[in-house]
Amino acid sequence: MSTSDIALIAHLMRRAGFGATRAELEAYAVDGYEATVDRLLDSAAEDDVPMDMLYRYHPDHSGMIGTGGVTAYWLYRMVNSKRPLQEKVALFWHGIFATGYSKLTQGRVLMDQIDMFRRQGMGDVRTLLVELSRDPSMILWLDNHDNHKTAINENFGRELLELFSMGVGNYSEDDIKEAARAFTGWTIGNAGYMERRAQNDSLWPYGRLNLHFEYRPEDHDDGEKSFLGETGKLTGEDIVEIICRQPATARFMSRHMYSFFVADEPPVTQWPYSEPRDPAAIEILSRAYFESGYDVGEMLRVMFNSDFFKSRDSWYEKVKSPAELVSGVLRLTGELNKPDPKLQGAASEMSTMGQSLLNPPSVEGWHAGVEWIDTGNLVERINFASERFSDVNQPGIKAMIGKSMADAGGVASPERLVQSCLDQLGAIEVSEPTRAVLLAHAENLKSSSGGHENAVGEMLRLVASTPEFQKG
Amino acid sequence: MTTTSKAEFLKYDRTLGVAAMEFRGFYYPVDAAVRGDGRIYGLSRSHEGDPRGVRVCMLDLESEYYGVFGSIGEGDGQFTWAASIAIDKDDKVYVGDEYLERISIFDADGNFLDKWGTPGTESGQINGPCGLAFDSDDHLYMSDHRNNRIQKFTRDGQYISDFGSEGSGDGEFDLPWGLTVSPGGDVYVADWRNDRIQRFTPDGDFVSKHGESGDGDGQFNRPSSVAVDGEGYMYVADWGNERVQILDPDGGFVMKLRGEATVSPWAQQFLDANLDESRLRANSNLRTAENIRGDSEHELSSHIEHIFWAPVSVKLDGAGRLYVVDRNRHRIQVYARA
């Protein structure tokens, strides 16, 4: 296998997963790039997360109280799952269909939503949007339990069009009202009691009660409606079907996908006023959307195999989100691969860096890209990675040091030390200025008394602070 | 052998406790011990995100509250991953911590007395003390679960013997959890990941095994605890199936419980003081839930309040009452012989 094969698969794993060790990359490279893409997309692959073990040692992973347990559970999956793209796609949809604990005050129903993204997130958009519309957390989050036949609440209908499928400028205010009418009667069981418990942050008497979807035909407006030029006794499912047929939906989904997996686009609110960074790429993805019958998995396959994804122009251009950074570091160190009281603390690191999973700042989700980095967050990001790489007792660090020492025959030149560490951290390629800094530090380490093990540890920590490591 | 018909073997009696992150109540309780005079010690594990919840809450069958003791930490009288609790003949209370790998000892009122335990795999060392039970000589049997064995100690932690090893054969274990000593002295172990109950003589000789993987009658999904009465009936916390099963002394299926909790006195006090919630609650259907995701009993239990959700530990008192620690619902459901 060539170095370029390894480097390209490393790029794929940074974007379609949470990075990979050098050993993992070499294993993928044996099968080749396209086979690795196929493996990532394989929806039939068995879920390898031992739920019985997690539930035994972490009662809070059942998720009824607070976000700590469910966030720790999700982090465990991101760190340990053999299906990293499934977790990445769940993260992708969570950022778009942002639903938050601040209003729901319950983790379990959010965890169920993420499970739905895991299950349906690489399937067809039609089913995904219908499931989202029936999702109890979304119903409570956007007040659809208050959307009645006699008095509509437009909140969900508006966001379905504006933030979840088409974007501003592609529908009218009347379309919003008609969509809201179509979703009347889509509510949750015991809506009044559940809403009050959420407002009171009540866990009494016996903990939270999970929410379930309820369709109330007597509260559904089954009259004639006109939506995006189509008229009839439209239901919620019909609204989704019409939305999926729109070219604007194809472009909207494609632009989101491009922004998350390839290169940063401006925030969604600016999309009506700014052209995509790569219009041809959006066109390719939009075509895949229609040709596949709105299938997200096929869009991803086209994207990962495209020249615009593989192009070096997009490598190291995306700032890792806190979830990507923390998960990636923990995958490299090989820790937290079994139940551990430290799991929740590790999950809270993501919040410290500005991303509280399951509790986004608003319905718009997080503003990603360079906004992940400000002075405070950058220090947190570097400190976290540096501290984790400092623990030479972690299995992943031990393995990296061992491999580096074997490569170097025990005594490495500065060049070999730097290259070995970049390799072990996932075949990272760095700019010449970055390499010069790393080499200068490696020269200094030659005269230190800590030996090669210490030098590797020092170099791993320094790499953690480079732009190439902080990006992906 | 009892002459009671199977359908009437046990009936629901009452519910104890309320969800509470501190003081009176439970927060993810994982085990309980019932003293001879009826005082109940409920052990709450809580979780890393809410250290207030870690404690032992003392109460009785009439919901009289006697206080709490213990807290999160590594100091004397503190726990990190509280896992198991048992009471000796002198009414001292023993708490196993499966993270700190030690046993903490308290007097009957919860004052810290002592601790013992050394992490490791050698005889006498421990790795996950998640089940504790005393025999009639006040020797302590411990489910040393990550070492896949049962160890026997004196009350002050002197090693006596051990039996078992990793595996699925007779006398082998896969992460055992709760255990009990029957009135006759035999040791019964919930062999968690082997989905069975194993019975041993007091010296650790294999006697019998009961159950297999599944969700049918007499089958188990990760059983976490077992209690045995004077007639030899086995009461099994069928944790992964979200139920309790009762087997006859030969292992034959008798009945299963899915839970039927009612509002405890402590819970009622909350509802009486919060009328906005209690009025809405009175108009709600909390007995059923449709359109839930998937078909797992675990998911169903997250929606319906009165049924078990992670029934983790079962204990019997001298009157034959069964106490089911209903972990994810922060309460104890009590059943009595018909």
Bridge-partner residues for B225, per DSSP? B237
pLDDT of A440 over the 60 cut: yes
**CB A193 to CB B48 under 8 A?**
no
Q: Does residue A411 surpass a pLDDT of 70? A: no
The string of pLDDT tens digits covering residues B34-47 is 999 999 999 999 98
Q: Which residues contact A119 (CB under 8 A, 6 or more apart)?
A: none
Measure CB to CB from residue B80 to each of A52, A203, A341 and give the nearest one.
Answer: A341
Instruction: Answer yes or no: do B305 and A203 touch at CB < 8 A.
Output: no
- Which tens digits make up the pLDDT trace of A86-114? 999 999 999 999 999 999 999 999 999 99
Helices A296-304 and A279-291 meet at what angle, rounded to 10? 140
Q: What is the pLDDT of residue A248?
A: 98
Two tokens, residue A184: 């009347």
User: What are the DSSP calls for A88-100, one per residue?
Assistant: HHHHHHHHHS---
Say which amino acid occupies B140. Answer: L
Write the residue in B240, B274, B302 that is nearest to A108 by C-beta: B302
Check whether A268 has a pLDDT greater than 70.
Answer: yes
| Cα distances (angstroms) measured from residue A302 to each of A29, A55, A92, A275, A292 | 19, 38, 17, 22, 10
> What does the CA dihedral B290, B295, B299, B301 come to, rounded to 10 degrees?
70
Mutation choice for B interface testing from A65, A112, A145, A190 by most B CBs within 10 A: A65
B291–A115: do the CB atoms touch at under 8 Å? no
Residue in B19, B81, B224 nearest the CB of A204: B19
Nearest to B328 among A64, A134, A344 (CB): A64
Q: How far is CA A367 from CA A67, A98, A265, in A?
A: 21, 12, 10
Closest alpha carbon within chain A to B240: A52
For residue A409, give Cα distances in angstroms to A404, A412, A413, A438, B110: 8, 7, 10, 20, 59
Inter-chain CB proximity A210 and B303 less than 8 Å = yes
Of A209-223, A452-466, B180-194, least confident by mean pLDDT is A452-466
The angle, 0 to 180 degrees and rounded to 10, between the axes of the packed helices A3-16 and A84-96 is: 40
CA torsion sign for A363, A365, A371, A372 is positive
Over the stretch A206-263, which tens digit does the pLDDT of each residue have?
Answer: 999 999 999 999 999 999 999 999 999 999 999 999 999 999 999 999 999 999 999 9
**For chain B, where are the alpha helices, taking DSSP H only?**
265-273, 275-282, 297-303
Q: How many CA atoms lie within 13 A of B310 on its CB side?
A: 28
Residues β-bridged to residue A244: none
CA–CA distance, B295 with B20 (Å, rounded to integer): 29
Chain B residues within an 8 Å CB radius of A134? 291
Q: What is the mean pLDDT of chain A?
A: 94
Mean pLDDT of A345-365: 95
Q: Which one-letter DSSP state was computed for residue B178?
A: -
Confirm or reject contact between B80 and chain A (CB < 8 A): yes
- Cβ distance A197 to B277 less than 8 Å, yes or no, reads yes
Reply yes or no on whether the pLDDT at A407 is more than 80: no
How many whole angstroms separate alpha carbon B295 and alpha carbon B71? 37
Cβ separation B285–A115 shorter than 8 A: no
Contacts of B271 in chain A (CB under 8 A): 204-205
What is residue B4's predicted lDDT score, i.e. its pLDDT? 45
Distance, CA of B312 to CA of B239 (rounded, Å)? 6
Residues 7-36 of B with CB under 8 A from A: 18-19, 28, 30
Point out the least confidently predicted range of A121-125, A137-141, A420-424, B121-125.
Answer: A420-424
pTM score of the predicted model: 0.95
Provide the pLDDT for residue A45. Answer: 81
What sign results for the dihedral spanned by CA atoms A447, A451, A454, A458? positive
Per residue in B195-244, pLDDT (tens digit) is 999 999 999 999 999 999 999 999 999 999 999 999 999 999 999 999 99
Indicate yes or no: CB of B286 within 8 angstroms of CB of A209.
Answer: yes
Partner residue facing B328 (CB), from A207, A215, A342: A207
Question: How many angstroms separate the CA atoms of A444 and B207, rounded?
Answer: 67
| B54 reaches A (C-beta below 8 A) | no
Nearest-angstrom CA–CA distance, B64 and B5: 33
Structure tokens, A399: 């393995």
Inter-chain CB proximity B303 and A197 less than 8 Å: no
CB < 8 Å to B99, chain A:
341
Q: Distance from B155 to chain A by nearest Cα, in Å? A: 26
Enumerate residues 232 to 291 of chain B having a beta carbon within 8 A of any beta carbon in chain A: 240, 261, 263-264, 266-267, 270-271, 274, 276-277, 280-281, 283-286, 289-291
Closest CA to B96 of B136, B58, B146: B146
Backbone angles phi, psi at B238, to 5 degrees: -85, 70
Which range, A366-370, A449-453, B127-131, is most confident?
B127-131
Per-residue model confidence (pLDDT) at position B132: 98
The first and second tokens of residue A252, run together, are 């909207």
Rounded CA-CA distance A150/A147 in Å is: 9
ipTM confidence: 0.96
Please state, as a whole number, how many other Cβ atoms lie within 10 Å of the Cβ of residue A313. 10
Which of A55, A74, A190, A193 is the mutation pick for testing B, counting most B CBs within 10 A?
Answer: A193
**pLDDT of res. B7:** 58
B103: left (phi over 0), alpha (psi -120 to 50) or beta: beta
| A227 φψ region: left (φ > 0), alpha (ψ -120 to 50), beta (else) | beta
**A209 contacts in chain B (CB < 8 Å):** 286, 302-303, 305
Distance of CA B76 to the CA centre of its chain: 24
What average pLDDT does this structure show over B113-139? 98
pLDDT tier for residue B1 given thresholds of 50, 70 and 90: very low
In chain B, what residues touch A200 (CB-CB under 8 Å)?
A: 274, 276-277
Tokens (6 digits) for A440:
């200068």
Sheet holding B187-191, edge to edge: B179-181, B187-191, B196-200, B206-210
Place of tokens 């010690």: B41
The alpha-helical segments, DSSP class H, found in A121-212 are: 125-134, 136-141, 155-162, 173-182, 191-200
How far does Cα A62 stand from its chain's mean position? 21
The strand pairing partners of B11, in sequence order, are: B336
| Distance of alpha carbon A220 from alpha carbon A148, whole angstroms | 7
Return d(Cα A466, Cα A462) in angstroms, integer: 7
